Amino acid sequence: MKKPYIVVHPLHSNFDEEIEISVKGCNPSDEISILTYIHDDRDELFVSDATFIANKNGEVHIANEASIKGTYTGIDRNGIFWSAKHVKKKHDDYFLKTNINALTIKMQLKIRDELVHEVAFERSFYKNDIHVVELNQNHIIGTLYLPKEKGDYPNVLLLAGSDGGKLDPAASLLAAKGYNVLDLAYFNQDGVPKDLENIPLEYFYNALQFLKEQTNNRSKVIVIGYSKGAELALLLASEYDEFSAVIAGAPSAYITSGMRNGIFAPIPSWTINDQAKSFLKMQHKFSNMLPVLKQMILKRPVSFFNVWEDSLKKDNNRLEDARIKVENIKAPVLLISGDKDGIWPSSTFSNEIKSKLDSIEHLQFKEGGHFVSFPYALPHLPANVYEHLGGRTIMDCGGTKEANADAAIQSWNYIQNFIKKHSE
């Protein structure tokens, strides 16, 4: 008699494709467990587990049947992916994916704690349908992702957040949809400044012109930024009429301070015409920092949300100087935010931006945190809530794994429709 087994279809898929996962060959009403193992780019292991009751045919179809216990419960076809947690860290950790290599995912079937079957399958960001060009020309540093098939594709500028990291997975995923995508480096990478301090906006303007020349497409560009990169995207669009659409995920309504050694510091982030742009300095009441320090000592997750709230309670004239003049933006704008953002009040910022600008859409996720959308939250990857920053600091980025995962799928579909609508 054939043992129970897992069926995954297809065994090779793109990350944003839905796949079918089922278990067959069980006895009716068998209690079965599925464990899913996923390694990130640091080779850190994340694992999910879900327990099901086999139906009258001795089968389980994950898309249609409820997990009764495990890292998620209820009916959720993607729960086995987004609910995966770091196996060694009490408070989970950030799932880091920075290269475009496919992920090999291993899945095990257990019945009464006995391993019955296992299967491995791959999920990719593209299917050999893109061309990758590393750029270090005309003082422009970054990576250009192009569809292999010749065509007149829209140009996209992708801007990372306060990590200054590479966004290769997101860039390749979008390029495979038919876009020329420039993942532009501007700090914390080889060839660009280590710190986010006095970065000239002219650098980004020149990168736009270079992108147009490289792709032989002189049309306006779509800009997508996240967090600090969303601040930058809105700022660039307020200064330059070069964009056909602006997408700002977890944005700020203000120019915020620069960064040294990965920490916000009282220094300017941006300059234009050799003049520093005014910025919102981080300020805090000592009473608000005491709970944060206590949490750090106890090695519990902390949020700096209150620091930003304190920083906004300052002189209105100084706030206005630091405010991004979004009313000058001539392109359609899409804002994406989570009300439970633990990094900064991105929904409050988004609503303030909306009050200044008519041509705007806002995806607002009530239970979402900071990582709710492309290019930092991608469909069908372990969802991110906490991040270990070293020492005793564990950042609570907000939301829940379930809410952030749901937002990532919803927003990815919305983003694709938005950029398709506004591509020139």
Per-residue pLDDT of the chain (424 residues; tens, 9 = 90+): 579 999 999 999 999 999 999 999 999 999 999 999 999 999 999 999 999 999 999 999 999 999 999 999 999 999 999 999 999 998 899 999 999 999 999 999 999 999 999 999 999 999 888 999 999 988 999 999 999 998 899 999 999 999 998 999 999 999 999 999 999 999 999 999 999 999 999 999 999 999 999 999 999 999 999 999 999 999 999 999 999 999 999 999 999 999 998 888 899 999 999 999 999 987 766 666 666 666 666 677 777 777 777 778 766 678 899 999 999 999 999 999 999 999 999 999 999 999 999 889 999 999 999 999 999 999 999 999 999 887 778 889 999 999 999 999 999 999 999 999 998 5
What pLDDT does 286 receive? 61
CB 329 within 8 A of CB 244: no
Cβ contacts of residue 343 below 8 Å, gap of 6+? 227, 250, 303, 304, 305, 370, 395, 397, 398
Q: What is the pTM of this model?
A: 0.94
- Among 286, 352, 283, 341, CA closest to 315: 283
What pLDDT does 424 receive? 58
What pLDDT does 290 receive? 67
Torsion angle, alpha carbons of 294, 296, 301, 307, to 10? 70
CA distances for 298 relative to 138, 295, 409, 411, angstroms: 49, 5, 34, 35
What pLDDT does 263 receive? 82
Q: Which domains does the chain have, with CATH numbers?
A: 5-124 (2.60.40.2240), 130-422 (3.40.50.1820)
- Max alpha carbon distance in the chain (Å)? 78
Cβ contacts of residue 187 below 8 Å, gap of 6+? 164, 193, 194, 195, 196, 197, 199, 259
Residues with a catalytic annotation lie at 227, 341, 370
Quote the CA–CA distance of 346 and 251 in Å, as a whole number.
5
